[in-house]
Amino acid sequence: MSVKDKIKRYIDQNIKKSNEYFNNTSRELLAHFDPQEHADFLSTLLRCLQPGMSILEVGAGSQSLITQEVKKKFLLEVVGLDIDGEALKQNTTLNDIIVCDIADSKAIDQIGRSFEIVLSRSVLEHISDNKRTHRNICKLLNVGGMCLHMYPCYHNPHLLTNKMATILLPKKVTDSIKRNLFRIKREIFHVHYHMCRMLRKRDRQYLMNLGYEIIEERYYFNPHYYRFCFPLFFFYFELEKLFCKRRWYFLSTNCILVLRKRGHRQ
Residue-wise pLDDT tens digits, 150-194 = 988 878 887 777 777 666 667 676 666 655 655 555 555 566 666
Is 66 domain-assigned?
yes
pLDDT of residue 183: 52
Q: Which residues of 158-178 are buried (b: 16+ CB within 10 A; e: fewer)?
A: bbeebeeebeeeeeeebeeeb
Is 236 contained in some domain? yes
What is the edge-to-edge ordering of all strands in the sheet holding 212-220?
96-99, 77-82, 54-58, 115-121, 141-152, 254-261, 212-220
Alpha-helical runs (H) found in the chain: 3-23, 27-30, 39-48, 68-74, 85-89, 105-109, 130-140, 157-168, 171-180, 201-210, 230-245
What three-state secondary structure class fits 104? coil
Q: How many domains does the chain have?
A: 1
In a domain, 266, yes or no: no
Residues in the chain: 266
What is the extent of the structural domain holding 103?
A: 3-261
* Residue 42 belongs to some domain of the structure: yes
Say if 248 falls within a structural domain: yes
Any idea what the Cα angle at residue 163 is, between residues 124 and 247, rounded to 5°? 70
Model confidence, pTM: 0.82
At what angle are helices 157-168 and 230-245 packed, to 10 degrees? 130
Q: What is the CATH number of the domain that holds 101?
A: 3.40.50.150
In 3D space, the residue among 124, 123, 126, 144 whose CA is nearest the CA of residue 212 turns out to be: 144
The verdict on residue 253 lying in a domain is yes
Query: In whole angstroms, what is the distance from residue 246 CA to residue 31 CA?
Result: 15
In the predicted model, residues of the chain with pLDDT beneath 50 are: 265-266
**Is residue 91 situated within a structural domain?**
yes
pLDDT at 82: 95
Three-class SS of residue 82? strand
Whether residue 249 lies inside any domain: the answer is yes
